[in-house]
Amino acid sequence: MRHVKSILLWTLAAAAPVYGQTQPASGALDPRQTDALHEFSASIQNLAHRAGRAVVQIFASGYALRDDEEGSSSASLLTRQRSTGSGIILTADGYIVTNAHVVRAGQRLQVQLSSPAESAPGHSLLRPAGKKITAIVVGVDRETDLAVLKIEAQNLAHLALGDSDELRQGQIVLAFGSPLGLANSVTLGVESSTVRQLKPDDPVVYIQTDAPINPGNSGGPLLDTDGRVVGINTLILTQSGGSEGVGFAIPSNVVKNVYAQIRKDGHVHRGQIGVYAQTISPGFAAGLGLPQEYGVVIADVAPDGPAEKAGLQVGDVILRLDGKPMENARQLEVNIYRRGLNEKVSLDVMRGRDALTVQVPVIERKDDPQRFADMVNPNNNVVARLGILGIPIDRKVAAMLPELRKSYGVVVAASMFGSQGGLKPGDVIYALNGAPISSVDALRSALSAIKPGEACILQIERDARLMFLEVELE
């Protein structure tokens, strides 16, 4: 399979007529041309067959409130919601990566494997549907829109994550998945751009491809011609609702980091070094007297943070991180995200005319709400009626949240699928219907006394603001 790209280039060159060259009188193609086309086609078929066995279709179902068609405010109905997407098996024992939005609304998840039947001469080309297996969510990272599922199975076909940093514009890629619910589909295209940021504050840098991607492809793999997963198909830009040749995938190197952390801890830790960096513009360079007109400049250094302790200063230009050139601030942030907590990064820095190399330890981002997930035990911390895992505020938690308005309450450590009222990780619950809440047991007890349909008003703190949250309990 490593020769597919060279075969295609040779085929296109061989098949194209050359000006002034005499063609066979019969008008038939040169046999060399047809052989090359056959070889290229066979290579793609072989790749599709091998990879398709590791691609799954995911079915998510649950319940959600929907207003009636008349628009009456008094008739909100609890209706069953169903959605479908794709996923890729990464291990023989059933670990699967998909998009977080594929499983976000699902209280019940099922994974349909590819059909084990093989097409053979004399047999129908229509193969039976693959086996459906119930899946559990190992963890979700909404910032990168990735989720890890687990099914109980062994000896499954699976694929390896490749190195997305090796991708080049124009490279051939294949997109697998279940577009519009059509299982086990494959499309062919090229890498339109290896780095695409949709918004300045977007947490992910995407791969852009013209391989057709449609709703239902989400979570499926984007493969290179060696059969390695170089991305996870995630979204499209469209005016019609269908594929317009502008599709985006999460790079496999981002997937690797998120997948490894979720398997280990059930969630993702966000690393930082205590700096605020900005991309250098020619104006920055001229006004600040920087040594170059591109790259990354440190605009702020957090007091008592690892960067300050390592000697970094405002105005330093970061040239390289662990030997890799840093060309913009987002690249720096993403590369620090990938490092493990307490791991040190090596920064090559220019300060005026002086070149420096400093070692800086990576610490957890202080405002990361997922940091509380390490402190919970599902058996002790689940609040089923709200669909959350909560932890009481004690000395340790209070030290992590020094600016809280009150010294008591329950912190939302994690929200489960189907959580009620829009509670988010990091929210702090202070009261229920005006009564103070100081522990998880007290919250569960107060909730148990409320009947379905009765008022349930939570007082919470979110982003340093107090607010009331109305929750409709089932």
Q: Is the pLDDT of residue 25 over 80?
A: no
118, part of any domain: no
In angstroms, the first-to-last Cα distance of the chain is 54
How would you class 422 by CB atoms within 10 Å of its CB: exposed for 0-12, middle for 13-18, buried for 19 or more? exposed
156, part of any domain: no
Beta strand 354-361 with 363-364: parallel, antiparallel or unpaired? Answer: unpaired
Asked if 186 and 258 sit in the same domain, the reply is: yes
Residue 407 falls in the annotated catalytic set: no
Q: Catalytic one among 86, 114, 192, 218?
A: 218
Q: Catalytic one among 43, 83, 86, 101?
A: 101
376, part of any domain: yes
169, part of any domain: yes
196, part of any domain: yes
d(CA 244, CA 210): 8
364, 397, 413 — which closes off a domain?
364
Asked if 172 and 258 sit in the same domain, the reply is: yes
Domain encompassing residue 207:
164-265
Q: Catalytic one among 141, 145, 210, 348?
A: 145
Asked if 177 and 249 sit in the same domain, the reply is: yes
Asked if 261 and 277 sit in the same domain, the reply is: no
pLDDT of residue 90: 96
Q: Is 406 helix (H, G, I), strand (E, B) or coil?
A: coil
Asked if 308 and 338 sit in the same domain, the reply is: yes
Residue-wise pLDDT tens digits, 391-444: 999 888 887 787 888 999 999 987 765 455 678 888 999 999 999 999 999 999
Residue 427 falls in the annotated catalytic set: no
Six token digits for residue 270: 């966000």
Residue-wise pLDDT tens digits, 238-248: 666 666 668 89
Q: How many domains does the chain have?
A: 4
DSSP for residue 203: S
How many CA atoms within 13 Å lie on the side-chain side of 187? 21
pLDDT of residue 86: 93
pLDDT of residue 133: 93
Residue 368 falls in the annotated catalytic set: no
Residue with tokens 């603001």: 465
DSSP for residue 269: -
Sign of the CA dihedral running 374, 378, 381, 387: positive
pLDDT of residue 80: 63
CA-nearest of 75, 79, 97 to 88 is: 97
CATH number of the domain to which 255 belongs: 2.40.10.10
